């Protein structure tokens, strides 16, 4: 058990470190205009390899997308991926996947909603490269809504309203809703803290005495040092 916990902590730390790297790499090779956390893409200089990947994605049908999202071959026996070996998505690849989010309706486990920032994002269980293109993903493979620390990660894409980019706008007291698609039950949390932490600080992922939700993304798309961490306690 101690060995598992040590391995689990190490993999979580690697995941938290890579959340920013994914976002930063999404904008490499682009001419951009920046305004604080908001980034507007103005010119593409995408590699030929990225163009071919994107072309393949555009040709995929619903069954093929679900098949890719259900591929857990990259997960180990504890349900964690080898994050260090993950490729890095381009902005186009994520935006193409986001244009087809409805194709994965059959496998989403729920949604996370924060009305104050107009966030309404699907949730997929387990973090893989493919799943992070479409939704927020559970950091712990055994997560249960309404119990323990339900932790979710998603990309900061530098565009307001896209994935977890706008988390920094959440304030203490704001409502957070998790809906379980299988049971139809909605869990109401209230924000208790909004913090900027170093990527090595994983204390927000520790077990809690109460049911909490933890939402994590990188602070911005260029600096991989800090994370935005939003936490809320279960109200009902």
Query: What's the rounded Cα separation, in Å, for the pair 59 and 42?
Result: 25
Bridge partners, residue 220, by sequence: none
Q: Is-catalytic flag, 218?
A: yes
Q: Name the residue among 43, 26, 60 with its Cα closest to residue 220.
A: 26
**101-113: burial string, b at 16+ Cβ within 10 Å, e else:** eebbeebbbbbbb
In sequence order, the 6+-apart residues with CB closer than 8 A to the CB of 101 are 122, 134, 135
Count Cα neighbours of 22 within 13 Å in the Cβ-side half-sphere: 30
Which candidate in 100, 155, 188, 204 is catalytic?
A: 155
Which candidate in 100, 188, 204, 218 is catalytic?
A: 218
Q: Is-catalytic flag, 155?
A: yes
SS3 of 127-168: the string is CCCCHHHCCEEECCCCCECCECEEEEECCECCCCCCECHHHH
DSSP 54-79: HHHHHT--HHHHHHHHT--TTB-TTS
> Would you call 150 exposed, middle or buried from its count of C-beta atoms within 10 A (0-12, 13-18, 19+)?
buried
Give the Cβ contact number of residue 88 at 10 Å.
14
Which residue numbers are catalytic? Answer: 155, 218
């Amino acid at each position: 058990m101690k060995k598992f916990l040590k391995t689990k902590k190490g993999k979580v730390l690697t995941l938290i470190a890579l959340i920013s790297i994914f976002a930063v790499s999404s904008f490499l090779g682009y001419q951009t205009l920046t305004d604080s956390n908001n980034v507007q893409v103005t010119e593409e200089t995408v590699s030929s390899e990225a163009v071919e990947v994107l072309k393949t994605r555009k040709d995929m049908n619903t069954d093929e997308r679900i098949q890719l999202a259900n591929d857990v071959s990259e997960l180990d026996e504890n349900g964690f991926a080898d994050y260090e070996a993950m490729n890095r998505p381009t902005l186009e690849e994520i935006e193409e996947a986001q244009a087809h989010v409805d194709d994965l309706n059959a496998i989403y486990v729920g949604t996370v909603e924060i009305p104050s920032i107009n966030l309404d994002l699907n949730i997929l269980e387990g973090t893989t490269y493919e799943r992070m293109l479409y939704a927020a993903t559970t950091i712990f493979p055994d997560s249960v809504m309404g119990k323990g620390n339900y932790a979710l990660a998603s990309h900061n894409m530098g565009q307001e309203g896209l994935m977890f980019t706008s988390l920094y706008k959440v304030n203490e007291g704001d409502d957070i809703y998790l809906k379980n698609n299988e049971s139809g039950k909605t869990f109401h949390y209230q924000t208790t803290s909004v913090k900027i932490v170093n990527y090595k600080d994983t204390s927000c992922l520790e077990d809690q005495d109460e049911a909490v939700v933890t939402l994590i993304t990188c602070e911005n798309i260029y600096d991989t040092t800090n994370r935005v961490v939003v936490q809320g306690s279960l109200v009902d």
